[in-house]
Amino acid sequence: MIASPVYEEIIDFLAAGTTPDRIIAFRPSERAKARVEELIHREKTSGLSIEETDELNHYMQLEHIMRLAKARARQYLSS
């Protein structure tokens, strides 16, 4: 599997080292957001290829992981 731009962003973010504050502040790039919006729009209108469906599903998994990481980071900061 070739890593999508969304994967690349998160890999780079994690590889650079981070803190709870940086995890909370993390936002995907405009490019990544536009790609996901495009995939969602096409999923609803014309349909997606198998590869594009996989890409969208991976993005949704990454979004879930980042939401959990942000919640955990907030817990660390509040304790």
**Mean pLDDT within 3-14:** 82
Instruction: Look at residue 8 and tell me whether its pLDDT is greater than 90.
Output: no
Question: pLDDT tens across 45-67, in order?
Answer: 999 999 999 999 999 999 999 99
3-class state of residue 3 by DSSP: coil
3 confidence band (pLDDT: 50, 70, 90): low
The number of residues making up the chain comes to 79
C-alpha distance from residue 31 to each of 8, 22, 26, 60 (Å): 12, 20, 15, 16
Determine the pLDDT at residue 2.
Answer: 60
d(CA 20, CA 29): 19
**Mean pLDDT within 24-28:** 94
